[in-house]
Amino acid sequence: MASFEARFGDGVWVSLVMATYNRAALLRRLLEQLDAQTLDPARYEVIVVDDGSKEDPRDKLADLKTRYTLCIERQENAGPAVARQRGVDIARGKIIVIIDDDMQVKPAFLENHLAKHDDDRTVVLGRLRPDQKLADMPLFERFYARVMGKKGDDWASGKTPVVGQSVYTGNVSFSRTLFLQAGGFDPQFRALEDEELGIRFEKAGAKFAFANDAETLHGSDWTSMKKWMDRAYRDGVYQTKLARKHPDLPGASPWRHLPDLNPVSRPFMALSVAAPATTSLVAEAAARTAVAFDKVGLEPIAIAGATFVYGIQYYRGVRRETGSAVAAAREYREFKRGIDLLRRGERGDGAAWRGLVEGIREDHRMIRFYADKYDARSSQGASLASDAVKKIGFQLMIAYRVMRFFRAAGLGLGAQLMSRSIRHAFASDVHWDAELEPGVVIVHGFGLAISYAAKVKSGCIIFQNVTLGFGNDPDSRESAGGAPLLENDVHVGIGATLFGPIVVGAGSKIMAGCVLAKSVPPRSVVHAPIPEVGVRGG
């Protein structure tokens, strides 16, 4: 393997980025340990972004002297994703290392990360280990330590592979090039922003490695059971958001945990979705019981209890984000159907063909549904073949489904040629990576511009000359870009332009001529400015 000099050249090799919040003492400890790294101090820098702490850490650390370049930035509280994004934006290093502010590191930490990077497409997870005072930590911290310890053992042994969803910001490194290509952190995620970034790394073609020697010791100062329960609830909320953003990955679904749960626990998880207020009381009682078992030395039972409490809170969060038990049940059925297809081995060309046929059928079903609802002239029960001849928008959707068939079958050139055909036949630029769920209706079918990162869910209606474009979040930096996600049953009127990493809530209506660059909640109506009419002179 080439030397670090040959691989990384001149200048700064590593930028270590961390977000911090009200942890000046722990932050000082970590910054002092980073000063003892075996790597040449000229080859690395440390960037700390304070996320609105009560006291400015720059004042607390004014006396700290380091051999490496230390930069401490400060922002209003906006969440760790925004803080880390800001840190990467100003970083100079070719490799970005991200860790948490409550970690401890050994002298070879940075070198062990660098040793795993042989190209710009590598993402390296380092080992998370509990510190030696694990037995003195609260029950919920021991719960997390056991979960992460088991994952680390499995990755180190090769029992399970490291994938995009494995990424955690407690200890990870990647090239700045890959980070920018993937689009950076999504500022809409106030939790699970690391897993969501990891998924986009994987979609961008990253490869993943585990560095058992690049370890951090985790010794959290959390002491509140309530905060831990709130965190579990928040994980459920954001896992649901993540699954909606990446509907092509069944493994991103919050429902993926159900098959692994103890059968005794499953009814309680279902009740958490159906009656979240009731199970809130159950979770609080179970938490107190688990702590009581822990105090009398029955740690295994206490850990099992903590797992149970986490699950209840998690699925209560899922229910909040789905909005209703009915919506949650629908999303669970969609997840189960995707898993059943995978278990039956329906992949490759066969799955691509089934996706083509089922997609066209569902698109046609939705066309007839809306025709019967809105168009009194509609002939009842018109055939798929008839509508394929008469309806230009349906023709475009059939062409899109064929394009996606080529993509799913691994025929990338065919998908790109089909995209060019759509451009010439319909004057529409639809990228082959754009994700339009089965059941999308295109009206008139010309003048569309749909970005590769756009996602459109079932029941949506899109009129002519609509743009779903890639753009930057107006509240974030340049690298935090993306394209719109239209949730179920969104109607987008003639000539509307939507761009950037926005979410249009289910059932919303975007009127003709609108320009929209921010997310809107479900059931919104977005109006374009009313034209000013004056008197013509002369």
Q: Which residue has the higher pLDDT, 472 or 303?
A: 303
**pLDDT greater than 50 at residue 425:** yes
Whether residue 432 lies inside any domain: the answer is yes
Residues 274 and 318 reside in one and the same domain: yes
Say whether both 386 and 311 belong to one domain: no
State whether 163 and 272 are in the same domain: no
pLDDT at 375: 67
Return the SS3 of 455: strand
Note whether 147 and 192 are same-domain residues: yes
339 and 352 share a domain? no
Q: Is residue 42 part of a domain?
A: yes
The 10s digit of each residue's pLDDT in 99-141 is: 999 999 999 999 999 999 989 999 999 999 887 776 677 787 7
Listed residue (6, 35, 199, 14) closest to 96, CA to CA: 14
Domain span at residue 506 reads 348-526
CATH number, position 430: 2.160.10.10
Q: Which amino acid is at 435?
A: E
345 confidence band (pLDDT: 50, 70, 90): very low
Please report the pLDDT score of residue 532 as a whole number. 84
Could you give the angle at the alpha carbon of 354 between the alpha carbons of 429 and 328, nearest 5°? 85
- Do residue 166 and residue 285 come from a single domain? no
pLDDT for the residue numbered 475: 61
**Angle formed at CA 239 by CA 519 and CA 211, multiple of 5 degrees:** 120
Query: DSSP letter string over 370-419?
Result: HHHHH-TTPPTT--HHHHHHH-HHHHHHHHHHHHHHHHHTT-HHHHHHHH
Domain co-membership, 41 together with 56: yes
pLDDT digits (tens, 9 = 90+) for 28-87: 999 999 999 999 999 999 999 999 999 999 999 999 999 999 999 999 999 999 999 999
Tell whether pTM > 0.95: no
Return the percent helix, strand and coil in the chain, to nearest 5: 45, 15, 35
One domain, residues 180 and 113: yes
- The tens digit of pLDDT for each residue in 430-462 reads 999 999 999 999 999 899 999 999 999 999 999
pLDDT of 240 higher than 80: yes
Q: pLDDT at position 84, please?
A: 95
In a domain, 99, yes or no: yes
Verify that 274 and 359 share a domain, yes or no: no
- Indicate the pLDDT class of residue 533, thresholds 50, 70 and 90: confident
Task: For residue 521, count CB atoms less than 10 angstroms from its CB and return exposed for 0-12, middle for 13-18, buried for 19 or more.
Answer: exposed
| Same-domain pairing of 286 and 430 | no
Residues 289 and 357 grouped into a single domain: no
Any bridge partners for residue 19, and if so which? 49
C-alpha 116/C-alpha 93 separation (Å) is: 16
Overall domain count for the chain = 3
Beta carbons within 8 Å of 300's beta carbon, 6+ residues apart: none
pLDDT surpasses 90 at 422: yes
> Which amino acid would we find at residue 254?
P
Q: Which residues of 236-263 are buried (b: 16+ CB within 10 A; e: fewer)?
A: bbbbbbbbbbbbebbebbbbbebeeeee
Whether 424 and 509 map to the same domain: the answer is yes
The answer to the question of residue 534 being in a domain is no
Task: Quote the CA–CA distance of 297 and 366 in Å, as a whole number.
Answer: 59
Say how many C-beta atoms besides its own lie within 10 A of residue 498's C-beta: 27
Average pLDDT, the chain: 88
